Structure 1
Amino acid sequence: METQIRARLTRALNEGAGAGRAGHKPTVCPYPINTAEWAAWVRGYAKQAPLPDEVDA
């Protein structure tokens, strides 16, 4: 059981990282909000998404 949970979370993390690298918006997350998979996806996304360019004020 624990192995299945870990596998699901690892998959979500990797999917989020892939979305971040591809430049997708975070709203493409396929997991329901406030689930462990959602949190893992967002973490993966945040590690890989490019930072927006700073804009001069």
Structure 2
Amino acid sequence: MGAQVDAAQAVIQGREAATADEPVTTCPYPRTSLLRTAWVKGYAPAARAREAGRAAE
């Protein structure tokens, strides 16, 4: 696969992890990988939205 496809999949995986209420430490990519950055890019907004939803309850 191409790098763009891999990065897009990493973003989706990060979003899914946050939605499933998994901790950020479940990221499957090493610290030095650009895919880790993409994963966190998907995880962070979803986690913030999840937390905002909890605060509203």
RMSD across aligned positions (CA): 1.7
Specify which structure has the higher proportion of helix: 2
Unpaired segments of 5 or more residues in structure 2?
A: none
TM (norm. structure 2) is 0.80
Aligned-residue identity in percent: 31
CA distance in 2, matches of 1:40, 1:7: 11
Task: Work out the number of aligned pairs and report it.
Answer: 52
TM (norm. structure 1) is 0.80
Q: Larger radius of gyration, structure 1 or 2? A: 1
Unpaired segments of 5 or more residues in structure 1?
A: none
